[in-house]
Structure 1
Amino acid sequence: MYLADHTWEELGDYFERESLALVPLGSTEQHGPHLPEATDHLIAEALAREAAERTGYLCTPTVNVGVSSHHRQFHGTMWVDPPAFRDYVASFTRNLAYHGIDRVVYVNAHGGNVQHLREVGGRLHESGDAYCLEWMWDESIPDLVSDLFAYNGPHAGPKETAMIMHLRPDLVREDRLEAARDGGWVDFTYDAACVNGARTFYDCVENADNGAFGDQTDATAEKGQRLFEAATAQLIELCEWLAAREAAELLPRPHV
């Protein structure tokens, strides 16, 4: 059920019987020479709307711009400052709570949003406004990602490439897959980019001149469909688990 497609009367019927909403969040940022800047928000919206369609839960409009200043050196990347992002997400979540939503799944597809969504969730839990969970699609299916790709990369790699091949093949520059691989860092690991346990980089460009990691030539639409179906199943199970919780279970525990 997509919120923006319905009238206020129809939405009132939903709020009378349900108290859960899915909020897709992504980014508008560089994804190498082969993927569109819409990559993250396309993935987040597709997963959230598919889960909502299959379950009947409410899906809100997508937050398309996130915390992405670490990609700012690349043309067209958009971002908001972390405090503004956190305050914005907290504000519209309280808006949902005003209508009767007391549990929210942030359907996230951008790593730069993770820590900020978790902070917002903690803030709203502490205040008792709502119980919010940050859900990152690839973190829900790590074994499948590892099985499908030898070098999956943390950004603009084959897992995201495969997902966009499945969702929007018209936006994938398949003639640039080898360039993405050869101009990036194929076997990147965070440990390899650290010195004596300290992460010494702040911006993506410090590790990959073209902004891409992993082996993009290993991606296919078929693999993307497998990722999409597996992640959707995980998201649906999470929603069902959250919906089944008693409201009292979601409130902060009293002082010992």
Structure 2
Amino acid sequence: MYLADHTWEELGDYFDRESLAIVPVGSTEQHGPHLPEATDHLIAEAYAREAAERTGYLCTPTVKIGVSPHHRQFHGTMWVDAPAFRDYMTSLARNLTYHGVDRIVFVNAHGGNVQHLREVGRRLHDAGDAYALEWMWDESIPDLVNDSFERNGPHGGPKETAMIQYLRPDLVREDRLEAARDDGWADFDAEAEQARRNGSRTFYDSVENSANGVFGDQTDATAEKGEELFEAATDQLVELCEWLAERDRSALLPADHV
């Protein structure tokens, strides 16, 4: 059920019987020479709306700009400062609680948002307003993601490429896949010396490790792999929503002081 398609009367019927909302959250930022800057919010919205379709739960409009200053050197990247993002998402969530929602799933497709959505969830939980969870599609199916590609990567790599090949093939620059690989960091390793020393992460911006902002080998991606990943992760999201919806409200409130 997509909120923006319905009248206020129809939405009142939903809030009378349900208390869960799905909120897709992404970014608008560089994803290399082969993928659109819409990549993250397209993926987030696709998962959220599919889960809402399968479950009947409410899906809100997508938050399309997130915390992305680490991609700022690349043309067109948009971002908001982290404190502003946290405050905005907290306010958005409390808008939903005003209508009776007390459990929220942030369907997130941008790594830069993760810690901030967790903080939003903390605020809402501590105040007793709502129980909000941050969900990342690839983290729900890590083994399948890793087994699907020879050289995976966290940004603009084969997993995201496969997803957009499946969801929006018209937006993939197929003739730029090799350039994306060759001018990026194809053999990405989070523990490599160029990324970490003595246990400390040594870079702030993606351009410091990848000239085109890409990590992983995109030439291993296909729409068929994207579909397999999409179906598997959607199953995980549906199960999460159903689990959360069934929990007693008392189990969602902060525990008393010992």
**TM-score scaled by structure 2?**
0.99
Are residue 64 (structure 1) and residue 64 (structure 2) matched? yes
Q: CA-to-partner distance for each residue in 1:122-160, whole Å, 9 max, x for gaps?
A: 011000110000001100000000110121101000000
Q: How does 1:159-238 map to 2 (within 5 A)?
A: 159-192=159-192, 193-238=195-240
Q: CA deviation at 1:69?
A: 0.4
Could you tell me the percent identity over the aligned residues? Answer: 80
Write out per-residue CA displacement over residues 85-133 of structure 1, whole angstroms, 9 at most, x where no aligned residue. 0000000100000000000000000000000000000011000110000
1:22-61 alignment runs, 5 A limit: 22-61=22-61
Separation of aligned partners in 1, 2:61 and 2:197 = 41
Note the C-alpha offset of 1:77. Answer: 0.1
* Counterpart-to-counterpart distance in 2, 1:150 and 1:26: 26
What is the CA–CA distance in structure 1 between the aligned matches of 2:196 and 2:88, rounded to whole Å?
Answer: 33
* Structure 1: distance between partners of 2:251 and 2:8: 30
User: Partner amino acid for 1:50?
Assistant: E
Q: Distance in 1 between matches of 2:156 and 2:79?
A: 17
CA distance in 2, matches of 1:2, 1:247: 24
User: Contact 2:180 / 2:212 at 8 angstroms: preserved in 1?
Assistant: yes
Cα offset, 1:168, TM superposition: 0.1
Q: Distance in 2 between matches of 1:137 and 1:87?
A: 24
CA distance in 1, matches of 2:68, 2:256: 37
Output the amino acid matched with 2:168: R
Following superposition, the deviation at residue 15 of structure 1 comes to: 0.2
Segments of 5+ residues of structure 1 without an aligned counterpart are: none
Letter in 2 for 1:99: H
How many Å apart are 1:72 and its aligned residue? Answer: 0.1
* Paired position in structure 2 for 1:244: 246
Determine helix, strand or coil for the equivalent of 1:133.
Answer: strand
Aligned partners of 2:189, 2:139: CA distance in 1, in Å? 16
For residue 167 of structure 1, report the CA deviation from its aligned partner. Answer: 0.2
Take 2:199 and 2:183, find their aligned partners in 1: how far apart are those partners? 26
* 1:51 shift after superposition: 0.3
The 5 Å alignment of 1:117-136 reads: 117-136=117-136
For 2:216 and 2:131, the matched residues in 1 are separated by 35
- 4+ residue stretches of structure 1 with deviation over 4 A? none
Asked if structure 1 preserves the Cα contact closer than 8 Å seen for 2:152 and 2:188, the reply is no
Quote the RMSD (CA, aligned, Å).
0.4
Q: Name the aligned partner's letter for residue 210 of structure 1.
A: N
CA–CA separation in structure 1 for the residues paired with 2:138 and 2:15: 30
1:251 partner amino acid: L
Determine the C-alpha separation between the residues in 1 that align with 2:128 and 2:150: 43
Q: Counterpart of 1:28 in structure 2: which amino acid?
A: T
Name 1:3's counterpart in structure 2: 3
- Provide the C-alpha distance between the structure 1 equivalents of 2:150 and 2:101, rounded to a whole number of angstroms: 41
With normalisation by structure 1, the TM-score equals 1.00
Q: Distance in 2 between matches of 1:105 and 1:47?
A: 12
> Following TM superposition, by how much is the alpha carbon of 1:234 offset from its aligned partner in structure 2, in angstroms?
0.3
- Aligned-pair CA distance for 1:191: 0.8
Contact 2:27 2:67 (8 Å CA) reproduced: yes
Q: Deviations over 1:16-63 (max 9, x none)?
A: 000000000000000000000000000000000000001000000000
